[in-house]
Structure 1
Amino acid sequence: MKNFLLQLFTWWNGQTMGTRFFTWRKGKRVGEDQFGNVYYEGPMSTYGLQKRWVIYKGYAEASAIPPGWHGWMHHRTDVPPTKQDYKAHEWQKPHHANLTGTAAAYRPQGSLAEGGQRPRVTGDYDAWTPGN
């Protein structure tokens, strides 16, 4: 019952009822990533490309899509990572959750959230004032 109500009233928890119905009618499961997100493709869109979508496990966060699946979702490749031996490049970083708005968010020295004071200006900057 809880999952039904979440799907009925929220869009950020997995999938909505409309997405569930569309996926059931037109979706073809393509694969799943290591986070449990499931990827689908469907009929052609108005732009002549196949529709592709993801149903997130848990909260919908676009940054949780791994690089290989990101390329497939954005039509950079027609072959999903499940049908090829995809290996991430060394410069591609693993996913880290977006911590903005949480207690673990980055707060630099002098941030209002930290309650600190900004460092004093060292004199290498002259503030503009009108009339000078």
Structure 2
Amino acid sequence: MSLFRTLRSIRRVGVREWWHQMQYIGDAKSGTFVGADQFGNRYFENVNQYEEVPGRHRWVDFAQHNYHASQVPPEWHSWLQHIRLNPPPQDPVMLNSSPPWKEPWVENLTGTRGAYKPYNTVPPKITAWEPKTTSRT
């Protein structure tokens, strides 16, 4: 990152947002706000092709401090990875394709208290030994 690019980003987004970007994504970026998802994540795009590295002109600003990739819903992931041209709020296919059986997106909860834990209904084949004791009278 050059000094000129850093100063340009500070001028465009402000010192506070620049500091936030440096702490979270480690790069100073400036672009247009495209939309937000149900988790509060904000999505941006820089359409000037000479300011960003090719393929890195779309990015997400996560709402949570401890973030990971499964917090991005599938429709926004397809836009970030250039599978779809338009973002979900502007894409006519995404706006008209919400089937009634589709459940809301939930992030991957593996490793947390909300993780799926199956239970077993079959009695164990091996049981622990329990000594038989009689009471003394």
Query: TM-score of the superposition, structure 2-length normalised?
Result: 0.53
Q: CA–CA distance in 2 between the matches of 1:18 and 1:64?
A: 15
Q: CA–CA distance in 2 between the matches of 1:18 and 1:97?
A: 20
Q: What aligned pairs does 1:1-132 form with structure 2 within 5 A after superposition? A: 16-17=22-23, 19=25, 22-23=28-29, 26-42=30-46, 44=49, 46=53, 48-49=54-55, 51-58=57-64, 59-85=66-92, 86-87=94-95, 88-90=97-99, 93-109=103-119, 119-120=124-125
Please tell me whether Structure 1 or Structure 2 has the larger radius of gyration of its CA atoms: 2
Q: CA–CA distance in 2 between the matches of 1:62 and 1:17?
A: 17
- Report the aligned-residue RMSD: 3.4
- The number of aligned residues is 100
In structure 2, the gaps of 5 or more residues are: 1-18, 127-137
Letter in 2 for 1:68: E
Q: Identity over aligned residues, as a percent? A: 35
In structure 1, the gaps of 5 or more residues are: 1-7, 9-13, 111-116, 122-132
Letter in 2 for 1:38: R
Q: Which has the higher strand share?
A: 1
Name segments (4+ residues, structure 1) moved above 3 Å: 18-21, 43-46, 87-93, 117-121
Q: CA–CA distance in 1 between the matches of 2:104 and 2:45?
A: 25
Paired residue for 1:127? none
Query: TM-score of the superposition, structure 1-length normalised?
Result: 0.55
Distance change (3 Å), C-alpha of 1:119 and 1:77: same
Could you say which structure has the greater relative contact order, defined with CA pairs below 8 angstroms and 6 or more residues apart? 1
Give the superposition deviation at 1:72.
0.3
Give the superposition deviation at 1:39.
0.5
Instruction: Tell me, yes or no, if the aligned pair for 1:109 and 1:118 is still in contact at 8 Å.
Output: no
What secondary structure does 1:81 align onto? coil
Q: CA deviation digits over 1:62-118, x for unaligned, max 9?
A: 2222222111011001111122342355375422233322333223346xxxxxx98
